[in-house]
Amino acid sequence: LYENFRDDACFFDIETTGLDERRDRVTTVSVHRGGETETFVRGRDLSADRLRDAFRDASLLVTFNGKRFDVPFLETSFDLSLDYPHLDLMYPCRQLGLTGGLKVIEGEIGVDRDRPDISGEDAVRLWREYERGDDDALETLVSYNREDAVNLRALSDTVADRLHADVFEPAVDGAE
């Protein structure tokens, strides 16, 4: 699926104030598509209409743990329907023996981060600091969220190449 739609894929990641889509709030959403990255921020430009526009005509959504977290959170919080083909990289990563969170897997495959010391828990803290008036905290949070979305492209390419080599090529060679 990814090999066929990679050029039109929509890579995205969200940050929230917690883990419960019914109680917590989405703080930022970064969408990486067509080589461009757009980040929406709660209280500024994060809205259902903006998200609908960002996902409109997507051939493929790509996330990490998005089936269980990002998609349900956005659908509940913004009354959206993200009914698009969806590649949740967590599952093919597991098939390849790549386990742990996104940052751990990125490290294993050699994807560098500007701020490898920031985690999802830090994202919640950064948002709280921003709410208390620290604009630098928001800048760091947005940078972190954007990097998550952009790095999904590199992870997708690596996963597709490895699956192709580890799964599909042996199956084809065995069939001959």
Q: Which of 136, 55, 65 is nearest to 94 (CA)?
A: 65
Contact, 68 vs 21, CB < 8 A? no
In angstroms, the Cα distances linking 102 to 89, 146, 148 are: 9, 13, 8
* C-alpha triplet 128, 111, 167: angle, nearest 5°: 120
At 16-38, the pLDDT tens digits run 999 998 999 999 999 999 999 99
Q: What is the mean pLDDT of the chain?
A: 93
At 129-166, the pLDDT tens digits run 999 999 999 999 999 999 999 999 999 999 999 998 87
Structure tokens, 17: 């104030």
Specify the pLDDT at position 92.
96
Q: DSSP readout, 72-99?
A: HHHHHHHT----S-EEETHHHHHHTT--
> Exposed (0-12), middle (13-18) or buried (19+): which is 175, by Cβ within 10 Å?
exposed
Structure tokens, 162: 């490895």
Specify the pLDDT at position 148.
96
Distance between CA 176 and CA 171 in Å, rounded? 9
Give the mean model confidence (pLDDT) for residues 84-107.
Answer: 95
Q: Can you tell me which residue has the tokens 């599909």?
A: 168
Specify the DSSP element, H or E, that contains 123: helix 120-131
